[in-house]
Amino acid sequence: MKYIAEPFKIKMVEPLRLTTPEYRRQAIQQAHYNGFALPAADVYIDLQTDSGTGAMSDAQWAGLMVGDESYSGGRSYFRLMAVAQDIFGYQYNQPVHQGRAAEKVVFPTLTQPGQYWLSNTFFDTTRGHVGLAGGRPVDLVCPEGLDTGAYADFKGNMDVAALRDFIVQHGVESIAGIVMTITNNTVGGQPVSVANMRQVSQVAREFGLPLLIDAARFAENALFVKQREPEFAQASLRHITKEMFSYGDLFTMSAKKDAIVSMGGLVGVRDNPELVERIKANVIPFEGYLTYGGLAGRDLEAIAIGLEEGLDEDYLRYRIGQSQYLADRLEADGVPFQSPVGGHGVFVDAGRLLPHIPWQQFPGHALAIELYLEAGVRACDIGSLLMDRDPVTGQPQRAPAEFTRLAIPRRVYTQAHLDVVADALAAVKDRADSVPGYEIVWEPKVLRHFTARLRPVG
C-alpha cells in the first residue's frame, strides 16, 4: 500500500468545516436524502465528481490574467488551437463551454432519426444527446467490464464481436456511428487499450461508419496504456495519445476532467471539412462565435495550459496513485469495488456490500447517504437510481451494477483525507446490516437522480 507523494506543493488553501453526526442527520433530511441538494458547505470531503473540481496550477491562474478577451481571433484561442493540434493531431479544433455542449453541436450533424449509436458505454449526457438527436444509444462493453471481482487490464474495452454482429444484424444503414469513451466512466473509469481502438476502427472503416472518441479522461487512459499494454511500455504519453486519436474521426471532450479547469470543452475533427461546416453552423447559435465557443478568453488560456499539465507523467502517476491507494485500503478492509481500480476514483460495489437492500431501494445511493452521515463524505450513486424509468413503460430499470462512486478531484485532497474516506467505509461496512434502503417520494421525468426526493425505507 504505497502513496505516491504529490509532485507539487500547496500555496493556497480553502478551509473546510467539520460537522457533527447530528448536524449531518438534519442536513441530509432537509436535503430529502439527495446529496445534490446538500449545500457544499455542509460537506467535509466532496467525492461527488472529479469534473470541474480540480485545483488549477499557479501557471493556469497566471494564464487567466493574460487571457485575451477579444470577441474574435483572440490570442488565447490561437494558443489553445496550437496545443490541441499538437496533442491530438486533428485538423480542426473547436472550443465549447463543456462536454455536453460538444455533444449538442455534434450528434445532430451525424444522426438520422431512429439510427443506432454503438458505444463501449455512453456517459449519461452523451446517451441523452444521442436521444435528443433522434438516435438510439446501445452499450456494448466487453463482458469482463461488468464483472467487478474479476481482474482485467482493459475493462473499458468494446466487445468487438458484439459490435460487428449488431451492425450485420441491424444493417449498416440503421447505424449512425460508434463512440469510444476513454476512460470508460460508467463501468468505473476503466481504460481502453490501443489494440481495442484499432479493432474498433477497422470495423468502422469496413462499414464506413464515423468513430467518435469521448475524450474526457484521455490522459488517464494514456497512462494505463503505458503501464499495461506492453507495446507502449517505453512510449511517451503524447505518442500514445496521438496514436489513440489517429484511429478516430472526431472527438468530443469535457475539459473539466483531464485539462483540470472548472469549465470548458472541445470538439475535434480529424479531416472532414464538410462535417466541420455543419458543426460550425451549430456552434455559432448555441455556443457563440467560433473563436470563443461559450468561454471567456481566460478560460481558453487555462485549458491550453491544463491540457499540457494533465499529460505530465509524474502528475498522472500521482493522480492514478491516489485511486490505487484508496482502493488498496478498501481491499485491506474487505470493502468490494470495481477491480482493478479505474483512473478517476473508486467505484464501490454497493450491491455486494449491502446485499440485504434490493436494487429497487438503491444500494449505491444508500451507501452514499451513509458515508455522509458517518464522516461528511459526499459520493454518488452510479446504479439503479441513476437509471431513469423506461420512457415507454414507465417501469424502473435495473442498472448492470449498483455502484457508489468515490470520484477524486485532481490535486485537491491529501493522503489523510483519503484515510478518512477509507475509515468511514470500514465503519459503514461493520454496521452494514443496519443500513436502510431508500424509496422515492417525488421524481422528475428525466435525469431523476439530480432532483429526486427520497426517504429511508422502514
Q: Which residues bind ligand F0G (CB under 6 A)?
A: 49, 51, 98-100, 123, 125-126, 181, 185, 214, 216, 254, 256, 265
Task: Look up residue 154 and give its three cell numbers.
Answer: 482493459
Judged by CB, which is closer to ligand F0G: 121, or 201? 121
The nearest distance, CB 426 to ligand F0G, in angstroms, is 25
**Please, what sign has the CA dihedral across residues 105, 61, 343, 361?**
negative
The nearest distance, CB 52 to ligand F0G, in angstroms, is 7
In three state form, how does the secondary structure of 19-54 look? CCHHHHHHHHHHCCCCHHHCCHHHCCEECCCCCCCC
Q: What does the alpha-carbon distance between residue 373 and residue 428 come to, in Å, rounded to a whole number?
A: 10
CA angle 122, 34, 319 (to 5 degrees): 55
Q: What is the DSSP string of 203-259?
A: HHHHHT--EEEE-TTHHHHHHHHHHH-GGGTTS-HHHHHHHHHHT-SEEEEETTSTT
The nearest distance, CB 125 to ligand F0G, in angstroms, is 4
Is 449 an annotated catalytic residue?
yes
What residue is closest to ligand F0G based on CB? 99
The nearest distance, CB 235 to ligand F0G, in angstroms, is 24
Q: What does the alpha-carbon distance between residue 260 and residue 8 come to, in Å, rounded to a whole number?
A: 15
Q: What is the DSSP string of 300-342?
A: HHHHHHHHHHTT-HHHHHHHHHHHHHHHHHHHHTT--BSSS--
The nearest distance, CB 314 to ligand F0G, in angstroms, is 24
Judged by CB, which is closer to ligand F0G: 256, or 429? 256
Judged by CB, which is closer to ligand F0G: 123, or 413? 123
Longest Cα pair distance anywhere in the chain, in angstroms? 61
Judged by CB, which is closer to ligand F0G: 361, or 384? 384
The nearest distance, CB 54 to ligand F0G, in angstroms, is 12
The nearest distance, CB 254 to ligand F0G, in angstroms, is 3
Judged by CB, which is closer to ligand F0G: 49, or 190? 49
Q: Catalytic: which of 97, 257, 344, 429?
A: 257
Judged by CB, which is closer to ligand F0G: 201, or 254? 254
Q: Catalytic: which of 3, 78, 124, 162?
A: 124
Phi, psi dihedrals of residue 209, rounded to the nearest 5°: -105, 145
Q: Catalytic: which of 90, 107, 122, 123?
A: 123
Among 151, 154, 113, residue whose Cα is nearest residue 132: 113
Q: What does the alpha-carbon distance between residue 442 and residue 438 come to, in Å, rounded to a whole number?
A: 12
The nearest distance, CB 121 to ligand F0G, in angstroms, is 9
Is 124 an annotated catalytic residue?
yes
End-to-end CA distance of the chain: 40
Among 210, 200, 300, 201, residue whose Cα is nearest residue 252: 210
Is 344 an annotated catalytic residue?
no
Please tell me whether residue 383 adopts helix, strand or coil conformation: coil
Phi, psi dihedrals of residue 456, rounded to the nearest 5°: -65, 145
Q: What does the alpha-carbon distance between residue 130 and residue 289 come to, in Å, rounded to a whole number?
A: 24
Is 280 an annotated catalytic residue?
no
Judged by CB, which is closer to ligand F0G: 181, or 324? 181
Q: What is the DSSP string of 414-440?
A: -HHHHHHHHHHHHHHHHTGGG---EEE
Judged by CB, which is closer to ligand F0G: 120, or 324? 120
Question: Catalytic residues, which ones?
Answer: 71, 123-124, 214, 216, 257, 449
